[in-house]
Amino acid sequence: MKSALALVAVLAVMALAAADDEKYTTKYDNIDLDEILANDSLMHQYELCLTEEDDSSCTPEGKELKKDIPDALENDCAKCNDKQKEATRKVIKFLINQKPETWHKLKEHYDKDGKYSEKYKKLEDELKE
Ligand SMILES: *[C@@H]1O[C@H](CO)[C@@H](O)[C@H](O)[C@H]1NC(C)=O
């Protein structure tokens, strides 16, 4: 009985630790970003995926991205690994400077009340060329 309780306690602690340490999938970390950013039809596809209600335009990684964006915005990419943080900066920088229309659409979609534009204003200024 005593050991069963101890086991439950250990499992509970492990579950908490796991939840705390939760990260986004690294499954797509080796994707070739430059190739995607340079490919207008792919970029358009991602834009549709990310801004439409349904997921019918989404590739598997687009779907994953779509699922994680609201959370990443809310928590400063807290569940991103370094590679994902770097990739996020790169994509945002590209969108701000090269695809302002897409950037605008994404903002309208993910930041309807301007909350994150406020929160991340410094980052946006920093990335703007
Ligand atoms: C863009 O990506 C699509 C899908 O992967 C591919 O079929 C197409 O050839 C690419 N276009 C260019 C210009 O690389």
Cβ–ligand 1 distance for 36 under 6 Å, the answer: no
| pLDDT tens for each residue of 73-125 | 999 999 999 999 999 999 999 999 999 999 999 999 999 999 999 999 999 99
- List helix spans (H) across 21-99: 33-37, 40-51, 60-74, 82-98
Closest C-alpha to ligand 1, atom 3: 42
The alpha carbon of 106 and the centre of ligand 1 are apart by a number of angstroms equal to 22
Fold of 26-127: Antennal chemosensory protein a6 (1.10.2080)
Pocket test for ligand 1, best of 34, 35, 41 (most atoms within 8 A of CB): 41
Q: What is the mean pLDDT of residues 62-68?
A: 95
8 or 90, which is more confident? 90
Structure confidence at residue 39 (pLDDT): 97
Are 98 and 38 spatial neighbours (Cβ–Cβ below 8 Å)? no
Contact 124, 96 (CB under 8 A): yes
Our answer on whether the CB atom of 42 is closer than 6 Å to any ligand 1 atom is yes
Q: Is residue 22 over pLDDT 70?
A: yes
pLDDT(8) > 90: no
In short, whether 39's Cβ falls inside 6 Å of ligand 1 is yes
pLDDT reading at 17 higher than 60:
no
**Is the distance from the beta carbon of residue 32 to the nearest atom of ligand 1 less than 6 Å?**
no
118 sits in which H/E element: helix 115-119
**How far is residue 66's CA from residue 16's CA, in Å, rounded to a whole number?**
26
Task: Inform me whether the pLDDT recorded for 16 exceeds 60.
Answer: no
Whether the Cβ atoms of residue 116 and residue 71 lie closer than 8 Å to each other: no
Distance CA 111, CA 106 (A): 8
Closest residue CA from atom 9 of ligand 1: 39
Domain boundaries, the chain: 26-127
Report CA(59)–ligand 1 centroid distance (Å): 14
Per-residue confidence (pLDDT) for residue 7, from 0 to 100: 72
